[in-house]
Structure 1
Amino acid sequence: MEQLRKAKGFICDMDGVIYHGNKILPGVKEFVEWLYRENKQFLFLTNNSGKTPKELQEKLARMGLEVDEHHFYTSALATAEFISRQSPGAHVFVIGEPGLYNALYEKGITLDDTSPDYVVIGESSSYNYDNICKAVHHVQNGARLIGTNYDLTGPTEQGIMPACRAFVKPIELVTGKEAYYIGKPNPLMMRTGLNMLGVHSQEAVMIGDRMDTDIVAGIESGLDTALVLSGVSTRETVKLFPYRPRLILNGVGDIPD
């Protein structure tokens, strides 16, 4: 634990680490106060593509947690950055929420329901049969399939619910084309996070609630790793993976000394 506390940079997942739905988790306020008090560089790096950094800031503020907007980075921002670098001015067909649409717009990417270069899938309450059929049609016609993140499920106040990969899977199965997933554990997002913090991987720690995205992302990127049991993974499911987090904590509230 002392090694973790000495880290200069902290990359933290949000869902299952900071909150469930609209409920802040125990010990989070003390953890954030500790980050500020110790002058740590920290970033809330979320695979959820639905909200903008400003919306995430306001969501935490409603829960009584004040965090500056620049401390947030989402898979939607990472997806927009990737597409803009690969194909500037690209046209895309999107199934997603406002955070994803806004990120793409900010990078000069055009929405196109007719002949897109990419089909981009994120979490969405508007996910339906008609949109699936359109996505399949575009991918069959040559559009490249992108998933904003690799999460199959996500924790909510109502329990575990489907997430991005569950939405992408039908399109992959019908078309026979595999999606490229941008969010954790893709090293693209982790490198961006470290660059935003201005710290080396050996001076940073990844804190998350998922073995299959957060912890493997930290391990593959050379960060120290801490799994919290406040979200998806449990002590029992940890045993199913060939890799291990260095620390297993009840929640981020265990960290402040």
Structure 2
Amino acid sequence: MAQSNTAAEASPDESAKPAALRKPIESWLTDMDGVLVHEGTVIPGAGEFIGKLRESGKPFLVLTNNSIYTPRDLHARLKGMGLDVPEECIWTSALATAKFLAGQRPGGTAYVIGEAGLTTALHQIGYVLTDSNPDYVVLGETRTYSFEALTKAIRLINAGARFICTNPDETGPSTEGVLPATGSVAALITKATGVEPYFVGKPNPLMMREALNTLNAHSESTAMIGDRMDTDIKSGMEAGLKTFLVLSGLTSQSEVERFPYRPSRVVKSVAELVDEI
């Protein structure tokens, strides 16, 4: 398939739509890693982009499949890098998972493998964390997956606990290279139990719809920015959003053509989107 010669070229669906029928973007969703920051460094233009969003008064959320940190933790980490994102403008897969469980089984119980971002979110919805006959086994991100904890999860699922995962990412970035992430560990548990988990985070459009509800925004006037076709762009597209793929993260221009779906636009970085706000 021939590649586009222009990174910012619109997809056929978007370009075919008359300008008068395209609703202006009134709210924004953006991924974090690969869009705003990369390996502990702010991506050029990200500070200006967030600053313009805050000045405009348009509602926005920074979305991340990372469930390790609370929004307060992420706010502090981003600020330490020089990027000031308000705590209330950060939406994690841990928060999305907690909101999902609160709607499914209010006041339930869960055995959790994860960090403070996940356990805090579950405590905030009134869940009791226990390894005694829990309603759910909830698997999130952690840098210290233990054989003992995984064995406990497998036995609880075999005993009837429902299996939930914060996100399906198979690997995560680090300064030393890739790390096994939630999706890889979930595959191990599934192999041992025969039970497939329900993944709440991207590319499940549920995370997008919950973010839209949080902003009181409409899909037709909301945009999603991401650096991954298989999570950010797919979930944004399936939720009916305008999608922007940035080339500052994991996806190259040539890789875009390998997917059966396309973003609304491909840009080099968020620096090219400042004037869109």
Aligned to 1:232: 250
Equivalent residue runs for 1:99-110 within 5 Å: 99-110=117-128
Unaligned runs of 5+ in 1: none
Q: Mark the structure with the bigger radius of gyration.
A: 2
Aligned to 1:190: 208
Supply the AA of the counterpart residue of 1:10.
W
Instruction: Report the Cα offset of residue 6 of structure 1.
Output: 4.3
1:77 to 95, 101, 104: 95
2:53 to 17, 23, 35: 35
SS of 2:259's equivalent in the other structure is coil
Instruction: Specify whether residues 62 and 82 from structure 1 end up closer, same or farther in structure 2 by C-alpha distance, changes over 3 A only.
Output: same
1:57 to 48, 51, 75: 75
SS of 2:196's equivalent in the other structure is coil
Instruction: Report the Cα offset of residue 162 of structure 1.
Output: 2.5
Instruction: Give the TM-score taking structure 1 as reference length.
Output: 0.94
Aligned to 1:215: 233
| In structure 2, C-alpha distance between the alignment counterparts of 1:62 and 1:150, rounded to whole Å | 28
Supply the AA of the counterpart residue of 1:238.
V
Matched, 1:178 2:201: no
Instruction: Specify whether residues 188 and 179 from structure 1 end up closer, same or farther in structure 2 by C-alpha distance, changes over 3 A only.
Output: same
Q: Tell whether the 8 Å contact from 1:93 to 1:118 is kept in structure 2 after alignment.
A: yes
Instruction: Report the Cα offset of residue 103 of structure 1.
Output: 0.3
| In structure 1, C-alpha distance between the alignment counterparts of 2:162 and 2:95, rounded to whole Å | 18
Greater alpha carbon shift after TM alignment, 14-23 vs 47-56: 14-23
| In structure 2, C-alpha distance between the alignment counterparts of 1:254 and 1:166, rounded to whole Å | 34
| In structure 1, C-alpha distance between the alignment counterparts of 2:23 and 2:218, rounded to whole Å | 16
SS of 1:256's equivalent in the other structure is helix
Supply the AA of the counterpart residue of 1:25.
I
| In structure 2, C-alpha distance between the alignment counterparts of 1:87 and 1:157, rounded to whole Å | 39
2:224 to 181, 191, 206: 206
| In structure 2, C-alpha distance between the alignment counterparts of 1:76 and 1:199, rounded to whole Å | 21
Aligned residues with identical type, % of pairs: 47
Aligned to 2:159: 141
Instruction: Report the Cα offset of residue 40 of structure 1.
Output: 2.4
